[in-house]
């Protein structure tokens, strides 16, 4: 699981519900080199979108982020993640329900595990949310890239993406819990 990139880049993997909504928040940050939509955490090799949505593969929709730790830290990425999800919802995210939409932080190193657990505990103890934090911190396993039409959806389908985000309730949730700081 150790980072093994000759350029010194690292990988972070987050499941935050619909992967369409998880790309843009990370893509906008300096030091984030690539954000890929995909599937992880399940038992079927090379699952398709339809298979994952059937909730029979055990996979969650997720994003794999390649980042330069000299420019953006893993702790900053975890913080960005918390600001994009409802970490108290064990049944999915916003109007997307089921296992494939559950949140998780998948660590690739022991240092990431420790940092993610500490961040989760601090968020829980902050009482920002009325319910406990249920987002799991799990070891990373195989990550399967989603189909091409899912990649960079916010860029290729801007109007649909904007309607989806608004309609899902994600934007209003984020505004209520985070934008009032």
Span 32-50, mean pLDDT? 97
- What mean pLDDT value characterizes the chain? 93
**2 is a domain residue:** no
Task: Quickly state the pLDDT bin for 179 (edges 50, 70, 90).
Answer: confident
Specify the DSSP class assigned to residue 146.
Answer: P
Provide the residue range defining the domain that includes 55.
Answer: 10-178
Q: Is 109 part of a structural domain of the chain?
A: yes
Three-class SS state of 107: strand
- Is 50 exceeded by the pLDDT of residue 58? yes
Of 25, 61, 28, 55, nearest in space to 144 by CA: 61
DSSP string over 113-133: HHHHHHHHHHHHHHT-SSS--
List the CATH number of the domain containing 118: 3.30.1060.10
Per-residue pLDDT reduced to its tens digit, 82-95: 999 999 999 999 99
For residue 3, is it within any domain? no
For residue 3, what is the enclosing H or E element? none
Predicted confidence band at 3 (pLDDT cuts at 50, 70, 90)? Answer: low
pTM: 0.94
| Position 4 in a domain | no
pLDDT at 1 (0 to 100): 47
Q: How many domains does the chain have?
A: 1
What are φ and ψ of residue 69, in 5° steps?
-70, -10
Residue 55: inside a domain: yes
With bands split at pLDDT 50, 70 and 90, how would you rate the model's confidence at 30? very high
Q: Among all residues, which ones are annotated catalytic?
A: 18
DSSP class of 32? E
**Residue 164 counted as domain residue:** yes
């Amino acid at each position: 699981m150790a980072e093994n990139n000759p350029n010194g880049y690292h990988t972070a993997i987050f499941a935050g519900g619909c992967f369409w909504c998880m790309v843009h928040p990370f893509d906008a940050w300096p030091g984030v080199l690539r954000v890929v939509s995909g599937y992880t955490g399940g038992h079927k090799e090379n699952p398709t979108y339809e298979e994952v949505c059937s909730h029979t593969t055990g996979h969650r929709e997720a994003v794999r982020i390649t980042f330069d730790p000299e420019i953006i830290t893993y702790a900053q990425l975890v913080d960005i993640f918390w600001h994009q999800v409802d970490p108290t919802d064990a049944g999915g995210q916003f109007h997307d329900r089921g296992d494939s939409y559950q949140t998780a932080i998948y660590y690739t190193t022991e240092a990431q595990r420790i940092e993610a657990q500490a961040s989760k505990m601090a968020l829980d103890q902050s009482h920002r949310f009325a319910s406990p934090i249920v987002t799991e911190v799990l070891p990373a396993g195989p990550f399967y890239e989603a189909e091409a039409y899912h990649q960079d959806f916010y860029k290729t389908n801007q109007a649909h993406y904007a309607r989806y985000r608004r309609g899902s309730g994600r934007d209003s949730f984020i505004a209520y819990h985070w934008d009032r700081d």
